[in-house]
Amino acid sequence: MATRIHNFSISLDGFGSGEPQSFETPFGHAGQRLHAWMMATRMWDPVHGSAGMDDAFAQQHDPGIGAEIMGAHKFGPPGWQDDPDWRGWWGEEPPFRTPVFVLTHHAREPLAVGATTFHFLTATPQEALRLATEAAGGQDVRIGGGATVVRDFVAAGLVDHIHLVQVPIVLGRGTQLWDGLEGLEASYDVEVTASPSGVTHLVFSRKPSVTS
């Protein structure tokens, strides 16, 4: 069983989100620019999307995944914790269709929405991963973001496979992915593939000799 990150988009200067985050602008001043590449793929849009390299990477997001861990700021805009009716961004059939563990300092009862159950917890990355691995039923666990949670799990040495998508924009501000990850490349084999769409796919595969 592995711990994986897929389709995590960053700007050239390493931001996984702009600012400020709000209900109207979930990605802050980044708008949709970090994810435009994915919305142009067949995975996102089966009718009009492209089936090229970006789609091949994007399609890796779901197969073999039995649970996701995400941060509180991915689950909702600032203040969602005070709204007992908030059920996430994804409507009545969220795309996860697995248990999802939402890391938050404002725990609440589990919430079933469609085929997804959200569990809210305060825990160390190690403890959260242990619970998610149990829930994943022998499949892999995806770390779903945002940048804060990705950074924490990578810094803790818990992630086996990291797929980042570098988008050619400079955000200048937002949530930084790379802070505290100096020298990360020493623990991973790194492959970089430029897509004709203009984005760059970076794949970090943990070296077999490095254990968490």
Ligand X SMILES: NC(=O)c1ccc[n+]([C@@H]2O[C@H](COP(=O)([O-])OP(=O)(O)OC[C@H]3O[C@@H](n4cnc5c(N)ncnc54)[C@H](OP(=O)(O)O)[C@@H]3O)[C@@H](O)[C@H]2O)c1
Q: Which residues are near ligand X by CB under 6 A? A: 8-9, 16-17, 21, 26-27, 34, 71-74, 103-106, 122-123, 144-149, 152, 175
Comparing CB distances to ligand X, the nearer of 9 and 117 is 9
Comparing CB distances to ligand X, the nearer of 98 and 148 is 148
In the complex, residue closest to ligand X by CB: 146
Residue 106 beta carbon to ligand X: minimum distance, rounded to whole angstroms: 5
Comparing CB distances to ligand X, the nearer of 152 and 160 is 152
Q: Which of 53, 58, 16, 5 is nearest to 166 (CA)?
A: 16
Comparing CB distances to ligand X, the nearer of 35 and 42 is 35
Residue 209 beta carbon to ligand X: minimum distance, rounded to whole angstroms: 28
Residue 65 beta carbon to ligand X: minimum distance, rounded to whole angstroms: 15
DSSP string, 129-190: HHHHHHHTTTSEEEE---HHHHHHHHHTT--SEEEEEEES----SSEESSTT-TTGGGGEEE
- Angle between helix axes 147-155 and 125-135 (nearest 10 degrees) is 100
